[in-house]
């Protein structure tokens, strides 16, 4: 609990960058909090990013996901941390300290334009979550 001696920090961590996590991050950031959105995978989107339609409404997954992806990415109070998992959690409600372990990407993400040229020449085959975990070679 937040007390005078132990004040509320005012930052929130949302763990999981699927559509629910993204919406939670947006709602929290729009309420005036700094948000750290932590995702263990390489990108946000979760399972919904792999779907064409949703059941039972048959809604277009991308149509629901894309606006939130853009809004989260552009929000000045949301910091996205991908390839990361919680290693330690200390403190109490209102004042936690979280230690994350982040897997390196081996690229400078601020300079990467997502052109895909490195994937075209990469000699390693890896399973793709977007292809039912089958090994995929870049075309």
Distance CA 135, CA 79 (A): 31
Cβ proximity to ligand SF4, 74 vs 121, nearer residue: 121
Phi, psi (rounded to 5 degrees) for 120:
-65, -30
Q: What is the DSSP string of 59-117?
A: -BHHHHHHHHHHHHHH-TTEEEE-SEEEEEEEEETTEEEEEEEE---SS-TTT-----H
Cβ proximity to ligand SF4, 5 vs 114, nearer residue: 114
Nearest approach, Cβ of 73 to ligand SF4 (angstroms)?
Answer: 16
Which residues inside 61-120 make contact with ligand SF4, applying CB under 6 A?
A: 107, 112-118
Cβ proximity to ligand SF4, 86 vs 112, nearer residue: 112
Nearest approach, Cβ of 57 to ligand SF4 (angstroms)?
Answer: 35
- The vertex-126 CA angle with 121 and 131, nearest 5°, equals 110
Cβ proximity to ligand SF4, 56 vs 116, nearer residue: 116
Nearest approach, Cβ of 130 to ligand SF4 (angstroms)?
Answer: 16
Cβ proximity to ligand SF4, 55 vs 106, nearer residue: 106
Total residues at the site for ligand SF4 (CB under 6 A)? 8
Distance CA 68, CA 46 (A): 13
Nearest approach, Cβ of 2 to ligand SF4 (angstroms)?
Answer: 42
Which one-letter DSSP state was computed for residue 37?
A: E
Distance CA 112, CA 31 (A): 31
Binding footprint of ligand SF4 on the chain (CB under 6 A) = 107, 112-118
């Amino acid at each position: 609990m937040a007390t005078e001696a132990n004040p509320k920090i005012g930052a929130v961590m949302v763990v999981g960058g699927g559509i629910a996590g993204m919406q939670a991050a947006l709602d929290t950031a729009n309420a005036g909090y700094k948000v750290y959105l932590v995702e263990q995978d390489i990108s946000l989107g979760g399972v919904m990013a792999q779907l064409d339609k949703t059941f039972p409404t048959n809604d277009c997954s991308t149509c629901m996901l894309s606006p939130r992806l853009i809004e989260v990415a552009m929000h000045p109070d949301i910091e996205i941390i991908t390839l990361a998992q919680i290693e330690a959690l200390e403190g109490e409600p209102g004042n936690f300290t979280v230690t994350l372990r982040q897997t390196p990407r081996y690229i400078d993400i601020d300079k990467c334009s997502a052109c895909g040229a490195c994937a075209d020449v990469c000699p390693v085959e890896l399973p793709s979550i977007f292809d039912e975990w089958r090994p995929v070679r870049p075309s």
